[in-house]
Amino acid sequence: TALFAVPPARTVGTHKPPVAIRPTFTTSVRTTFAQRPFQVYTAAMFLATTWTSFLLANVSIFLIYITKMEPAEIGAKYVLLLFVVLISRVGALPLFTRLLLLFPRSCHPARLLAVLKVGEALITPLLFSLLREPGVPVTSLLATTGFVIGVLQSPMDMCNHMLVGWAIDEDALNNQLQRREGIFYACNGVTQHLSQVVLACVLGTWGLAGFDPSLCASAQPQSAYTAIELTFIVGLPTVSILNALVLICYPIQGERLLRLQGRVEKEMAELAAVRTRLTGGDAATSTEPPSEADPSDGGDSEAPSRGAVPPLPAVEAVRTRHATTN
């Protein structure tokens, strides 16, 4: 349903672009999925969503059937894990923000996420292997696990928005300045929901291995324990490595990113110049003073001032120039 929640392209006001024709829904979806930056972005998001959703939904199964923790203790331990993840994720965010701002060329968000995913793949199996050992301090180990996961995933949302933002910018510059955020986020949302299919397949695999949730933890066959252990100790790191490999392939880097940023700055400057000329011209030819809001309505009048010019002519002027030059 997300695909039908937004139109395939956004135009300013009710006016259509002067040259480009609004694409059909099917064409817009096909065009979006055909773009390399979006392919990399949505694939990385899919893998990250699969990893996080599986861990948060099924870590209690690992604690009960592998760590042999009593079910009555799971609630408190799960809350502790989520609390530490949240605190460490928020606390580490300023560090990664400064890295991205101080080193914009060497610390590209795709490369930063790839490095963190590799670290995730190295540390996660170690932590879950320790949780298998008898006599380990489970509370301290869970807190450590939450801290590591929170720090490694701290810049994920920020970096992902940068990656999809550049993809949308590049698409707009090649599409008569039409920004199609809606269809980008809708297509990505549909892709992320497919992660639930993967999780269902994993649980089905556990069932084929003999896992029966109606039995107590000590009555499961050995194949069920092995399947659960392999999923956490081998499966999760594998997903992290695949995620890192996908992120390295993000194409808007280096010179291509610099060209994109330069083109965006140029278009924004030209748009501001056209807007200034239109606004200044109307203000110079207008002999009537701008109307003032009636104090009786609390100064919140809905009528625009006479000297105000809506941004539509400026946008359409730049679109027309952009279309004719292409």
**Tens of pLDDT, residues 113-169:** 999 999 999 999 999 999 988 888 999 999 999 999 999 999 999 999 999 999 999
- Is residue 47 in some structural domain? yes
Residues 316 and 203 in one domain: no
- Is residue 297 in some structural domain? no
> Binning pLDDT at 50, 70 and 90, where does residue 304 land?
very low
- Is residue 298 in some structural domain? no
Ordered alpha helix ranges (H), 194-221: 195-208
User: What is the domain-level CATH number for residue 231?
Assistant: 1.20.1250.20
pLDDT of 222 higher than 50: yes
- Is residue 290 in some structural domain? no
Residues 32 and 114 in one domain: yes
Give the structural domain span for 52: 2-252
| CA neighbor of 37 nearest in space, from 196, 180, 237, 197 | 180
Kindly give, in sequence order, each residue whose CB lies less than 8 Å from that of residue 80, ignoring residues fewer than 6 positions away: 139, 142, 143, 146
Residues 147 and 45 in one domain: yes
Cα atoms found within 13 Å of the Cα of residue 25, Cβ hemisphere only = 8
Question: Domain tally for the chain?
Answer: 2
Residues 309 and 247 in one domain: no
pLDDT of 185 higher than 60: yes
- Is residue 175 in some structural domain? yes
Residues 281 and 174 in one domain: no
**Tens of pLDDT, residues 192-208:** 999 999 999 999 999 99
- Strands (DSSP E) contained in 140-260 are none
Residues 216 and 257 in one domain: no
Kindly give, in sequence order, each residue whose CB lies less than 8 Å from that of residue 17, ignoring residues fewer than 6 positions away: 11, 176, 178, 319, 323
pLDDT of 99 higher than 80: yes
Q: How large is the average pLDDT for residues 37-61? A: 94
Residue 267 pLDDT: 87
Residues 231 and 310 in one domain: no
Residues 123 and 197 in one domain: yes
- Is residue 196 in some structural domain? yes
- Is residue 246 in some structural domain? yes
- Is residue 308 in some structural domain? yes
> Binning pLDDT at 50, 70 and 90, where does residue 276 land?
confident
Higher-pLDDT residue of 295, 42: 42
Residues 236 and 314 in one domain: no
Which is it for the CA torsion 314, 319, 324, 326, positive or negative? positive
Higher-pLDDT residue of 62, 308: 62
Residue 282 pLDDT: 52
Residues 321 and 241 in one domain: no
Which is it for the CA torsion 290, 294, 295, 299, positive or negative? negative
Q: What is the mean pLDDT of the chain?
A: 83
pLDDT of 47 higher than 50: yes
Tell me which of 14-23, 62-71, 180-189, 221-230 is least confident.
14-23
Residue 326 pLDDT: 54
Residues 243 and 323 in one domain: no
pLDDT of 231 higher than 90: yes
Residues 27 and 144 in one domain: yes
Q: How far apart are CA 228 and CA 201, in angstroms?
A: 13
